[in-house]
Amino acid sequence: MPTLIEQARSNKPAAASILPRAIWPLLVGLAIGALMFYVIGPGMGDYPSKIVLIAGINIILAVSLTVVNGFTGQFSMGHAGFMAVGGYVAATITYYGSMKLFGSADPAGGVLSFTGGADKPTALARWGDALFIGSCLMGGVGAAIAGYIVGLPSLRLRGDYLAIVTLGFGEIVRVLLQGTHEQIQPWRVEDALAKPVYELAISLGGPKGFQLLPTYTTLFWVYLFVVVTLIICYRVKNSSTGRAFLSIREDEIAAQAMGVDITKYKVRAFVLAAFFAGVAGGLYAMDIGAINAGDLGFLKSFDIIIMVVLGGMGSISGAALAAIILTILPELLRNPPPVWPVGLVLIALIAGVSSYRKRFRWKPIIVIAIASTLLEVGRQIALSKGINVADFRLILYALLLITMMLVRPQGIFGIHEIWEILPGYARREAARNGARGGSQGGKP
Amino acid sequence: MTQFLQTLFDGVTVGCLYALIALGYTMVYGILKFINFAHSDVFALGVWMSITIAGWIGIGAAGEPVPPWYMGVLVMLLAMGVCGAVGFTVERIAYRPLRGAPRINVLITAIGVSLFLQNFGQLRWIFGAYPKAFPTLLGDQTLFSLAGVNFRLSDAAVIGTAVALMAALQYLIFRTKMGAAMRAVSFSPRNASLMGINVDLVISFTFVVGTMLAAAAGFLYGVKYGGQAKQTADSMWVMLGLKAFVAAVVGGIGNVRGAVLGGLLIGLIEWFGVAYLGSQYRDAYVFAILILVLLFRPAGVLGKATIEKV
Domains contained in chain A, CATH given = 23-333 (1.10.3470), 335-413 (no CATH)
Contact A176, B284 (CB under 8 A): yes
Is B232 an 8 Å CB contact of chain A?
Answer: no
Is A398 an 8 Å CB contact of chain B?
Answer: yes
Helix (H) or strand (E) holding A140: helix A125-154
Give the residue from B125, B291, B307 with the most A CB atoms within 10 Å of its CB, the best one to mutate: B291
The per-residue pLDDT for A127 is 59
Q: Across the interface, which of A164, A305, A395 has its CB nearest the CB of B249?
A: A164
Q: Across the interface, which of B101, B112, B233 has its CB nearest the CB of A401?
A: B112
A161 vs B233: CB contact, 8 Å cut-off?
no
B294 vs A163: CB contact, 8 Å cut-off?
no
Question: How many percent of chain B have pLDDT more than 70?
Answer: 97
> Whole-number mean pLDDT of chain B?
87
Start-to-end CA span in chain A (Å): 24
Is B103 an 8 Å CB contact of chain A?
Answer: yes
What confidence category does residue A79 fall into, taking pLDDT thresholds of 50, 70 and 90?
very high
A397 vs B101: CB contact, 8 Å cut-off?
no
Q: Across the interface, which of B123, B238, B308 has its CB nearest the CB of A298?
A: B238
The per-residue pLDDT for A140 is 96
Give a yes or no: residue B40 inside a domain.
yes
DSSP conformational letter for A38: I
> Whole-number mean pLDDT of chain A?
82
The per-residue pLDDT for A63 is 95
A169 vs B282: CB contact, 8 Å cut-off?
no
* Three-state secondary structure call for residue B269: helix
Give the chain A residue whose CA is nearest to the CA of B282: A175
Mean pLDDT throughout A193-209? 82
How far is the C-alpha of B94 from the C-alpha of B103, rounded, in Å? 14
Give a yes or no: residue B304 inside a domain.
no
**How many domains does chain B contain in total?**
1
Mean pLDDT throughout A307-333? 88
Give the residue from A303, A405, A407 with the most B CB atoms within 10 Å of its CB, the best one to mutate: A405
Number of neighbouring beta carbons within 10 Å of residue A186: 17
Per-range mean pLDDT, top range of A352-366, A402-416, B162-176: B162-176
The per-residue pLDDT for A122 is 37
Q: Across the interface, which of B35, B291, B295 has its CB nearest the CB of A160?
A: B35
The per-residue pLDDT for B306 is 61
- Judged against a pLDDT cut of 60, whether residue B180 lies above it is answered with yes
For residue A57, how many C-alpha atoms fall within 13 Å in the half-sphere facing its CB?
27
Give a yes or no: residue B278 inside a domain.
yes
The per-residue pLDDT for A255 is 92
Give a yes or no: residue B138 inside a domain.
no
- Judged against a pLDDT cut of 80, whether residue A363 lies above it is answered with no
The per-residue pLDDT for A321 is 92
- Judged against a pLDDT cut of 50, whether residue B65 lies above it is answered with yes
A45-49, A137-141, A389-393: lowest mean pLDDT where?
A389-393
Residue scoring higher pLDDT (B296 or A257):
A257
- Residues 183-222 of chain B with CB under 8 A from chain A are none
Interface pTM, i.e. ipTM: 0.83
* Three-state secondary structure call for residue B143: strand
Mean pLDDT throughout A12-21? 76
Computed over its alpha carbons, how large is the radius of gyration of chain B? 19
How far is the C-alpha of A409 from the C-alpha of A309, rounded, in Å? 8
B115 vs A172: CB contact, 8 Å cut-off?
no
- Taking each continuous run of H as one helix and of E as one strand, the counts in chain A are 19, 0
Give a yes or no: residue B137 inside a domain.
no
Taken in order A128, A130, A133, A139, the sign of the CA dihedral is: negative
Measured between beta carbons, the chain A residues lying within 8 angstroms of B283 are 171-172, 174-175
Q: Across the interface, which of A165, A394, A409 has its CB nearest the CB of B291?
A: A165
pLDDT digits (tens, 9 = 90+) for A213-241: 888 888 888 999 999 999 999 999 989 99
Mean pLDDT throughout B258-273? 92
For residue A128, how many C-alpha atoms fall within 13 Å in the half-sphere facing its CB?
30
Give the chain A residue whose CA is nearest to the CA of B129: A391
- Judged against a pLDDT cut of 50, whether residue A441 lies above it is answered with no
Measured between beta carbons, the chain A residues lying within 8 angstroms of B243 are none
Helix axes A125-154, A159-178, angle to 10 degrees: 140
pLDDT digits (tens, 9 = 90+) for B210-265: 999 999 999 999 888 877 788 877 778 888 888 998 899 888 888 888 899 999 99
- Judged against a pLDDT cut of 70, whether residue A100 lies above it is answered with yes
- Judged against a pLDDT cut of 80, whether residue A84 lies above it is answered with yes
Cβ neighbours for A381, distance < 8 A, ≥ 6 positions apart: A387
The per-residue pLDDT for B107 is 85
Cβ neighbours for A333, distance < 8 A, ≥ 6 positions apart: A389, A390, A392, A393, A396
- Judged against a pLDDT cut of 60, whether residue A117 lies above it is answered with no
Contact A33, A223 (CB under 8 A): yes
Give a yes or no: residue B307 inside a domain.
no
Measured between beta carbons, the chain A residues lying within 8 angstroms of B245 are 164
B113 vs A161: CB contact, 8 Å cut-off?
no
Contact B230, B236 (CB under 8 A): yes
Taken in order A341, A342, A346, A349, the sign of the CA dihedral is: positive
Residue scoring higher pLDDT (A9 or A265):
A265
Q: Across the interface, which of B116, B287, B298 has its CB nearest the CB of A398?
A: B116
Residue scoring higher pLDDT (A332 or A267):
A267
Q: Across the interface, which of B107, B118, B283 has its CB nearest the CB of A175?
A: B283
Give a yes or no: residue B236 inside a domain.
yes
Helix (H) or strand (E) holding A243: helix A240-250
Give how far B82 is from chain A: nearest CA, Å. 21
Burial B101-136 (b: 16+ CB within 10 A, else e): eebbbbbbbbbbbbbbbbbbbbeeeebeeeebebbb
A-B contacts (CB, under 8 Å) = 118
pLDDT digits (tens, 9 = 90+) for B38-55: 999 999 999 999 999 988
Residue B61: which domain range? Answer: 2-129+150-296
How far is the C-alpha of B185 from the C-alpha of B167, rounded, in Å? 21
What confidence category does residue A112 fall into, taking pLDDT thresholds of 50, 70 and 90?
very low
pLDDT digits (tens, 9 = 90+) for B289-308: 888 888 788 778 887 766 55
Cβ neighbours for B263, distance < 8 A, ≥ 6 positions apart: B15, B16, B17, B18, B19, B20, B21, B22, B244, B247, B248, B251
A104-108, A129-133, A424-428: lowest mean pLDDT where?
A104-108
Give how far A400 is from chain B: nearest CA, Å. 8
Helix (H) or strand (E) holding B144: strand B142-146
Burial A102-111 (b: 16+ CB within 10 A, else e): beebbbbbbe
Give the chain B residue whose CA is nearest to the CA of A207: B280
The burial class, CB within 10 Å (0-12 / 13-18 / 19+), for A382 is middle
The per-residue pLDDT for A87 is 95
Is A178 an 8 Å CB contact of chain B?
Answer: yes
Mean pLDDT throughout A252-269? 90
Give a yes or no: residue B73 inside a domain.
yes
Measured between beta carbons, the chain B residues lying within 8 angstroms of A175 are 280-284
Give how far B190 is from chain A: nearest CA, Å. 22
Residue scoring higher pLDDT (A138 or B278):
A138
Q: Across the interface, which of A179, A299, A402 has its CB nearest the CB of B112?
A: A402
How far is the C-alpha of B263 from the C-alpha of B260, rounded, in Å? 5
Mean pLDDT throughout A316-337? 86
Candidates A399, A338, A262; CA nearest to B114 is A399
- Judged against a pLDDT cut of 70, whether residue B32 lies above it is answered with yes
- Judged against a pLDDT cut of 70, whether residue A123 lies above it is answered with no
A114-118, A433-437, B98-102: lowest mean pLDDT where?
A114-118
Question: How many percent of chain A have pLDDT more than 70?
Answer: 91
Is B94 an 8 Å CB contact of chain A?
Answer: yes
Helix axes B153-175, B256-277, angle to 10 degrees: 150
Give how far B187 is from chain A: nearest CA, Å. 19
pLDDT digits (tens, 9 = 90+) for A282-303: 999 988 889 999 889 888 998 8
The alpha helices in A36-124, defined as continuous H runs, are 41-44, 46-65, 79-102
Is B274 an 8 Å CB contact of chain A?
Answer: no
| Pairing assessment for the beta strands B142-146 and B149-152 based on DSSP bridges | antiparallel
- Judged against a pLDDT cut of 80, whether residue B119 lies above it is answered with yes
Is B75 an 8 Å CB contact of chain A?
Answer: no
The per-residue pLDDT for A9 is 72
Furthest-apart CA pair in chain B: how many Å?
Answer: 64
CATH number at residue B114: 1.10.3470
The per-residue pLDDT for A1 is 61
Number of neighbouring beta carbons within 10 Å of residue A11: 7
SS3 for chain A is: CCCHHHHHHHCCCCHHHHHHHHHHHHHHHHHHHHHHHHHHHHHHCHHHHHHHHHHHHHHHHHHHHHHHHHHCCCCCCCHHHHHHHHHHHHHHHHHHHHHHHHCCCCCCCCCCCCCCCCCCCHHHHHHHHHHHHHHHHHHHHHHHHHHHHHHHHHCCCCHHHHHHHHHHHHHHHHHHHHCCCCCCCCCCHHHHHHCCHHHHHCCCCHHHCECCCCCCCCHHHHHHHHHHHHHHHHHHHCCHHHHHHHHHHHCHHHHHHCCCCHHHHHHHHHHHHHHHHHHHHHHHHHHHCCECHHHHCHHHHHHHHHHHHHHCCCCHHHHHHHHHHHHHHHHHHHCCCCCHHHHHHHHHHHHHHHHHCCCCCCHHHHHHHHHHHHHHHHHHHHHHHCCCHHHHHHHHHHHHHHHHHHHCCCCCCCCCCHHHHCCCHHHHHHHHHHHCCCCCCCCC
Measured between beta carbons, the chain B residues lying within 8 angstroms of A395 are 116, 119-120, 123
Give how far A80 is from chain B: nearest CA, Å. 15
Give the residue from A172, A181, A304 with the most B CB atoms within 10 Å of its CB, the best one to mutate: A172
Measured between beta carbons, the chain B residues lying within 8 angstroms of A176 are 281, 284
- Judged against a pLDDT cut of 50, whether residue A118 lies above it is answered with no
Is B104 an 8 Å CB contact of chain A?
Answer: yes
- Judged against a pLDDT cut of 70, whether residue B142 lies above it is answered with yes
